[in-house]
Amino acid sequence: MNAQLTAAGTNPELDAFWMPFTANRQFKAHPRLLARAQGMYYWTADGRQVLDGVAGLWCVNAGHGRSEITEAVTKQLTTMEFAPTFQMGHPIAFELANRLAKIAPPGLDRIFFANSGSESVDTALKIAIAYHRARGAAQRTRLIGREKGYHGVGFGGMSVGGMVNNRKFFGSSMLPGVDHLPHTLDIERNAFSRGLPQWGAQFANELERLIALHDASTIAAVIVEPVSGSAGVVLPPVGYLKRLREICDKHDILLIFDEVITGFGRVGKPFAAQAFDVTPDLMTTAKGLTNGAIPMGAVFSQRKIYDAFMQGPENSIELFHGYTYSAHPVACAAALATLDIYVKEGLLTRAASLSAHWENAVHSLRGLPHVIDLRNYGLIGAVEMEPRQGKPGARGFDVFLKCFERGVMVRQTGDTIAMAPPLIIEPAQIEHLVETLGQVIRETA
């Protein structure tokens, strides 16, 4: 690719790609092009090595360039590149579902495949509504999300999500009948908590208020991320998720955990549901499922939900939903090879053994200029900085850019810097990541 800039400082070769969730003009004037990756590192188009502090985009949990995945994908492409899963099947789709069911939280052993986190979320929301209908409670259509929630960019996920910029540009084109719980970020009370914040379980009681307002008989499901990443890492206060579970049980409301970023070892267990010992009714996943190599999503469902659909004449379709690429054979091959790596290298639990070291590293940034909170859990970390007067997000963006210039890739949301490295990270690389971030923060006004 020709990286030559014109006199106007633009590069016409970069014009055609309308980049997602990107400041297109800034990027195209100062491109950050990644050309190759191996292990914990990327290399830029001009040959600089960059430590990957965010597992690509929270997905490359086993690190980059895994030849086992390449081989499995290549083999599948040459054997059978595509096969439909509408009224047909192919063996590795069933093999993958069985393998996933074995590592799933208790009872979540019915798996529906999609191609992304957004599709998984919309699938789970549709299953929840159709489930109530199937068992004779068709009036239960309301969905409850949460402020600061991120559930992808489909109309369903956007509607239950709670990030203002992801919503405000799209007018009132939201699903009707959606309400939101308050978020659980309380910096005043919980700043610099190590691990889960102690204060805030009572935020879950707000669900009782929403139920009192709408009546439980109208509510299909509550969807939350056990740990949210995109809004800048928001952790569940101790006891919060258990309380949500109790309230949902009491009122016959389904609880959906969106584990698109927490799934596949990020928090020290295969899934956050296991780490927090709270079992949802539906669980959405993607990202780490294939180590980011091939797009894929999977919705894990309690057997009782699947069984509720299995009625009527045997030759009738039970759920009118699916994607051409649901359980795409190449994605299945990538996922199976990924699971083999996770199991062989103990990556589904490695974050637990590194988390104390990680916590100390993240909290070593306490006292740096403008740092108003530090948050950590599993192999997730966040540094929250005070916004510049009248310029929210500017400091965060500067820190993100300077880190990249110094050879460290982190993720920025507003004035929060998030880190979620591949689960193969070594302690010395944790030090390098956090020390570089610390130096940059010190130098950024």
Ligand X SMILES: Cc1ncc(COP(=O)(O)O)c(C=O)c1O
Measured between alpha carbons, how far apart are the two ends of the chain, in Å? 35
Q: Which of 61, 76, 85, 116 binds ligand X (CB under 6 A)?
A: 116
Burial of 213 (0-12, 13-18, 19+ CB in 10 A): exposed
CA dihedral 277, 231, 51, 355 (to 10 degrees): -30
The answer to the question of residue 229 lying near ligand X (CB under 6 A) is yes
Q: How far apart are CA 228 and CA 58, in angstroms?
A: 12
Q: Select from 75-83, 147-155, 167-175, 271-279 the region that touches ligand X (CB under 6 A).
A: 147-155
Q: Select from 131-139, 258-266, 370-378, 386-394 the region that touches ligand X (CB under 6 A).
A: 258-266
Q: How far apart are CA 37 and CA 196, in angstroms?
A: 33
Q: Select from 88-96, 195-203, 222-230, 415-423 the region that touches ligand X (CB under 6 A).
A: 222-230
Written as six digits, the tokens of 250 are 């009491």
Rounded to a whole number of angstroms, the minimum distance from the CB of residue 152 to ligand X is 3
The answer to the question of residue 152 lying near ligand X (CB under 6 A) is yes
Q: Select from 3-11, 163-171, 257-265, 406-414 the region that touches ligand X (CB under 6 A).
A: 257-265
- Sequence-separated (6 or more) residues with CB below 8 Å from residue 228: 148, 149, 150, 234
DSSP classification of residue 388: B
- Closer to ligand X by CB, 241 or 308: give it: 241
- Closer to ligand X by CB, 126 or 133: give it: 126
Rounded to a whole number of angstroms, the minimum distance from the CB of residue 175 to ligand X is 16
- Closer to ligand X by CB, 185 or 261: give it: 261
Number of helices (H), then strands (E), in the chain = 16, 15
The answer to the question of residue 288 lying near ligand X (CB under 6 A) is no
Burial of 206 (0-12, 13-18, 19+ CB in 10 A): middle
Q: Which of 52, 122, 258, 398 binds ligand X (CB under 6 A)?
A: 258
The answer to the question of residue 271 lying near ligand X (CB under 6 A) is no
Q: Which of 52, 122, 179, 225 binds ligand X (CB under 6 A)?
A: 225
The answer to the question of residue 114 lying near ligand X (CB under 6 A) is no
Burial of 4 (0-12, 13-18, 19+ CB in 10 A): exposed
Written as six digits, the tokens of 137 are 């409670």
Q: Which of 61, 76, 85, 118 binds ligand X (CB under 6 A)?
A: 118
- Closer to ligand X by CB, 64 or 151: give it: 151
- Closer to ligand X by CB, 295 or 396: give it: 295
Q: How far apart are CA 310 and CA 264, in angstroms?
A: 29
The answer to the question of residue 150 lying near ligand X (CB under 6 A) is yes
The answer to the question of residue 261 lying near ligand X (CB under 6 A) is yes
Q: How far apart are CA 341 and CA 344, in angstroms?
A: 5
Q: Which residues bind ligand X (CB under 6 A)?
A: 116-118, 121, 150-152, 225, 229-230, 258, 260-261, 286
